[in-house]
């Protein structure tokens, strides 16, 4: 029901209108009346009527003055002016104020009802329009968030070039460009798979984490799963990003501060100085999370709780020294190196069950975490770990430990040599895959990595190191070369060729083509040039 208030200095008129109209039956609520504008004003603020009926000629504050105040203070209230003066100047003043109806006295109850219904329909229409605009605004805001999440997800997964990412970000009014980037993956999990934990607890922890990181760096985030969130950190210096990363590391290590049974798993990628480096950092963060979880699980189910109290803390192996030798040392000097490196183990009491197992097991996990790029396949890495752990079970003397460490080093070097030998064949397979699928606008590094059965991060590093181009740059090179051939050999339109070589956005294709060749598609068709300025000719 619409609430109606009447203001008129004639008491008989007010009572007549109040009593002669069946308000509720007509769909209205009569909330009260007043004798003049001055008395009415505080009552209007108190009752907040939808429709105000007011006479013009009243003492103290007339109807036009009251209407002018109401229009400024409460613009949603509809105003019906009643006047006994059939003069044009009153109508003019009322129109300037913005009243909704203007009636000349004498006026009947039926006339008032008719005009009230007309105003009521206007109110309903305005309310429906406001609700529609509100819903549309909410929908657009939600759509923008989803579109932003899709953009960031595509950027992390390597589906976009730098130009595509910047163009899309500008359309969303999203600040994407920075000097340095780093991707972090966080996942809050319930201990012991406790499904009773409310999602609000996870959201609370993510909010606390976001507040902490925002104090140090700029953030772009999106949800990948219900419990997993991707954080793209942006900064002006590597030091700025590293401080934020160190802060997150501290929170991750201090799990005991969580008041509810939720544990935080994280994966941290390297700091990158290029926009496309976000993809590499994301892949590294994925792998880092996998290895951290593997190490955490090993620690939770490991041997230290059983023998930690009896461990001689003076007996240890320098993990970093061993890893450094694996990376830069040679097999020629492995025997004297291991002799010196493992000298502490000579003092170890091998008669204590599982004593040496813990020390060697801890070493191989650190080796695997540091050199995980050598073991591209996670299943293969897990199997290798299992075999090494089985071997450790047989180590019950310093001599056997010495032989195990030499064997570990030799296995690492053999694996590295096998990987190096496979690069040429693997890259040829990847290039052939690109040449066969360049027309697919969803072609990605992940697809190519799956095709040659390696991890995306490993392929990305090997591809860049061996070819001097990123995966996206090479795909772009192949597409532009094919577009050049089609421009010379067919009469297809530019937008048709764009679609044929894997670009859905013809405008973007045109800009990329000019950037690559130095010419527009029309200029190229009229020329004899077939060179590409911004890419090498390898792989054409």
Q: Any alpha helices (H) in 215-276, and if so which ranges?
A: 238-253
For range 250-274, the mean pLDDT: 72
Give percent of the chain with pLDDT exceeding 70. 81
- 100 neighbors 78 (Cβ within 8 angstroms): yes
Which residue(s) pair with 78 in the sheet? 51
**Residue 7 binned pLDDT confidence (cut-offs 50, 70, 90):** very high
What is the Cα–Cα distance from 365 to 319, expressed in whole angstroms?
10
Query: Given this model, what pLDDT does residue 306 score?
Result: 45
Instruction: State CA 449 to chain mean position distance.
Output: 24
Instruction: State CA 393 to chain mean position distance.
Output: 45
* Structure tokens belonging to residue 96: 């300037």
**pLDDT beyond 80 at 245:** yes
Residue 501 φ then ψ, to 5°: -105, 10
User: Minimal CA–CA distance to 107: which of 99, 115, 97, 117?
Assistant: 115
**pLDDT beyond 70 at 210:** yes
For range 399-404, the mean pLDDT: 90
- 69 neighbors 41 (Cβ within 8 angstroms): yes
User: Minimal CA–CA distance to 70: which of 84, 59, 54?
Assistant: 54
Residue 22 φ then ψ, to 5°: -85, 85
State the span(s) of the chain assigned CATH 3.40.50.2300.
2-128
Query: Given this model, what pLDDT does residue 447 score?
Result: 87
Minimum mean pLDDT among 40-54, 214-228, 457-471, 473-487: which range? 457-471
Neighbours of 326 (CB within 10 A): 18
What is the Cα–Cα distance from 187 to 265, expressed in whole angstroms?
5
What tens digit of pLDDT does each residue of 415-431 get?
A: 777 666 667 888 888 99
| Global confidence as pTM | 0.43
Radius of gyration of the chain (CA): 38
Query: Given this model, what pLDDT does residue 328 score?
Result: 79
State the span(s) of the chain assigned CATH 3.30.70.270.
178-274+277-301
Helices then strands, each counted (H, E), the chain: 22, 9
Average pLDDT score over the chain: 81
What is the Cα–Cα distance from 479 to 513, expressed in whole angstroms?
10
User: Minimal CA–CA distance to 97: which of 64, 54, 135?
Assistant: 64
* Structure tokens belonging to residue 103: 């009636």
**pLDDT beyond 50 at 227:** yes
Bigger pLDDT: 531 vs 290? 290
User: C-alpha dihedral over 120, 122, 127, 130, to 10 degrees?
Assistant: -170
The three-state (H, E, C) secondary structure of 155-181, written as one string: HHCCCCCHHHHHHHHHHCCCCCCCCEE
Bigger pLDDT: 130 vs 414? 130
Helix axes 445-452, 471-489, angle to 10 degrees: 100
Does the domain spanning 178-274+277-301 belong to CATH 3.30.70.270?
yes
State the span(s) of the chain assigned CATH 1.10.10.60.
438-526
> Which residues are CB-contacts of 459 (< 8 A; sequence separation ≥ 6)?
426, 430, 445, 448, 449, 452, 471
Query: Given this model, what pLDDT does residue 48 score?
Result: 92
In the block, tokens 């450094």 appear at 324
Minimum mean pLDDT among 150-159, 340-349, 417-426: which range? 417-426
What is the Cα–Cα distance from 240 to 358, expressed in whole angstroms?
37
**pLDDT beyond 50 at 221:** yes
- 367 neighbors 408 (Cβ within 8 angstroms): yes
**pLDDT beyond 70 at 102:** yes
Look up the CATH architecture of domain 438-526: Orthogonal Bundle (1.10)
The three-state (H, E, C) secondary structure of 379-414, written as one string: HHHHHHHHHHHHHHCCCCCHHHHHHHHHHHHHHHHH
Q: Which fold has domain 2-128?
A: Rossmann fold (3.40.50)
Minimum mean pLDDT among 124-128, 456-460, 515-519: which range? 456-460
**Residue 308 binned pLDDT confidence (cut-offs 50, 70, 90):** very low
Query: Given this model, what pLDDT does residue 535 score?
Result: 41
Helix axes 506-517, 471-489, angle to 10 degrees: 90
Query: Given this model, what pLDDT does residue 364 score?
Result: 81
In the block, tokens 């995966």 appear at 471
Query: Given this model, what pLDDT does residue 382 score?
Result: 62
Q: Any alpha helices (H) in 104-237, and if so which ranges?
A: 109-156, 162-171, 199-214
Q: Is the peptide bond before 106 cis (omega within 30 degrees of 0)?
A: yes
What is the Cα–Cα distance from 488 to 527, expressed in whole angstroms?
9
Report which DSSP code applies to 269: P
């Amino acid at each position: 029901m619409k609430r109606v208030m009447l203001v008129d200095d004639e008491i008989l008129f007010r009572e007549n209108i109040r009593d002669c109209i069946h308000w509720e039956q007509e769909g209205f609520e009569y909330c009260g009346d007043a004798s003049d504008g001055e008395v009415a004003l505080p009552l209007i603020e108190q009752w907040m009527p939808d429709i105000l009926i007011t006479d013009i000629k009243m003492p103290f504050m007339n109807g036009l003055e009251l209407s002018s105040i109401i229009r400024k203070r409460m613009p949603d209230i509809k105003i019906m002016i009643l006047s006994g003066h059939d003069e044009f100047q009153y109508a003019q003043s009322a129109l300037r104020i913005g009243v909704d109806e203007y009636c000349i006295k004498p006026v009947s109850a039926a006339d008032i009802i008719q005009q009230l219904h007309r105003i009521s329909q206007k109110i309903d229409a305005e309310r429906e329009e406001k609700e529609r605009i509100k819903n549309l605004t909410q929908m657009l805001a939600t759509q923008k968030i989803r579109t932003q999440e899709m953009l960031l997800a595509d950027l992390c997964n390597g589906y976009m070039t730098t130009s595509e990412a910047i163009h899309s970000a500008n359309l969303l009014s999203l600040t994407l460009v920075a000097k340095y980037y780093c991707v972090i993956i966080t996942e809050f999990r319930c201990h012991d798979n406790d499904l009773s934990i409310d999602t609000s607890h996870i959201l609370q922890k993510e909010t606390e984490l976001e507040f902490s990181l925002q104090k140090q760096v700029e953030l772009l985030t999106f949800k990948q799963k219900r419990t997993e969130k991707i954080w793209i950190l942006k900064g002006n210096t590597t030091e700025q990003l590293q401080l934020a990363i160190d802060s997150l590391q501290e929170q991750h290590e201090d799990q005991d501060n969580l008041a509810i049974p939720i544990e935080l798993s994280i994966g941290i990628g390297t700091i990158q100085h290029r926009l496309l480096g976000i993809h590499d950092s994301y892949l590294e963060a994925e792998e880092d999370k996998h290895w951290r979880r593997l190490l955490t699980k090993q620690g939770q189910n490991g041997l230290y709780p059983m023998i930690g109290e009896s461990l001689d803390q003076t007996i240890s192996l320098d993990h970093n020294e061993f890893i450094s030798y694996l990376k830069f040392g040679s097999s020629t000097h492995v025997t004297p190196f291991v002799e010196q490196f493992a000298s502490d183990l000579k003092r170890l009491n091998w008669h204590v069950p599982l004593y040496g197992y813990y020390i060697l097991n801890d070493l191989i996990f650190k080796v695997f975490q540091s050199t995980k790029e050598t073991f591209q396949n996670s299943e293969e890495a897990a199997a290798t770990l299992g075999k090494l752990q089985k071997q450790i079970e047989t180590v019950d003397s310093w001599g056997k430990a010495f032989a195990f460490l030499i064997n570990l080093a030799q296995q690492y070097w053999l694996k590295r040599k096998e990987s190096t030998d496979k690069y040429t064949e693997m890259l040829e397979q990847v290039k052939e895959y690109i040449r066969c699928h360049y027309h697919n606008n969803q072609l990605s590094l992940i697809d190519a990595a799956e095709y040659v059965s390696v991890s995306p991060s490993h392929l990305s590093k090997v591809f860049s190191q061996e070819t001097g181009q990123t995966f996206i740059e090479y795909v772009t090179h192949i597409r532009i070369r094919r577009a050049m051939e089609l421009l010379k050999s067919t009469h297809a339109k530019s937008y048709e060729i764009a679609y044929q070589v894997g670009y859905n956005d013809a405008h973007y294709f045109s800009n990329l083509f000019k950037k690559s060749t130095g010419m527009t598609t029309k200029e190229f068709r009229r020329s004899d040039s077939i060179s590409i300025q911004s890419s090498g000719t390898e792989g054409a």
